[in-house]
Amino acid sequence: MASFYGTGWSFPPAFDNVPGEVATASDLADIQESLQILLGTRPGERIMQPNYGCNLDQLLFEPLTTTFKTYMKHVIESAILYHEPRIKTDSVELSESSDTEGLVLIRIAYTVRANNSRFNFVYPYYKNEKSG
């Protein structure tokens, strides 16, 4: 089953101690890094894959209302649906951090399709609350 998870360059890209070899991530680490890359990439940023990414940066200055949170969840779920076929999104939850102003923690609960194992991923999204 491990071949289903895949292996890719580690993020951020790095080199192993062996000269000329790129550090890689495999299995669940590869899925977690893929989610981090997906949520941090703007559509159009990748030249060969112009639709890849999530529009979170365009939402940065919106007021954090219930309607906005619902829309933000939809944007995240759609990006995962179209760009990460190895997993099925079970839920997306947004919570404002009481410790850091403007920090929204995006918690994604997902199931790996290959073996029905469930995992969580938390992505810190910084927002400017002073607008709106």
Q: Which fold has domain 2-126?
A: Nuclear Transport Factor 2; Chain: A, (3.10.450)
Q: What is the pLDDT of residues 9-57, one digit of tens each?
A: 666 667 777 667 776 666 777 888 889 989 999 999 988 999 999 988 8
6 has pLDDT over 60: yes
Q: Can you give 40-82 as a three-state secondary structure string?
A: HCCCCCCCCCCCCCCHHHHHCCCCCCHHHHHHHHHHHHHHHHH
Mean pLDDT score, 110-124 = 91
132 has pLDDT over 60: no
The distance in angstroms from the start CA to the end CA of the chain is: 48
Mean pLDDT score, 77-91 = 94
Q: Domain locations in the chain?
A: 2-126
| DSSP 8-state secondary structure symbol assigned to residue 128 | -
Q: Which of 5, 4, 32 is nearest to 119 (CA)?
A: 32
82 has pLDDT over 90: yes
Task: Please tell me the distance from the alpha carbon of residue 105 to that of residue 113, in angstroms, as a whole number.
Answer: 25
Amino acid at 53: G
What is the per-residue pLDDT for 131? 39
110 has pLDDT over 90: yes
Helix (H) or strand (E) holding 119: strand 117-126
Q: In what order do the strands lie in the sheet with 87-96?
A: 87-96, 103-112, 117-126
What is the per-residue pLDDT for 1? 42
**pLDDT interval class at 129 (50, 70, 90):** very low
130 has pLDDT over 60: no
The pTM (predicted TM-score) of the whole model is 0.79
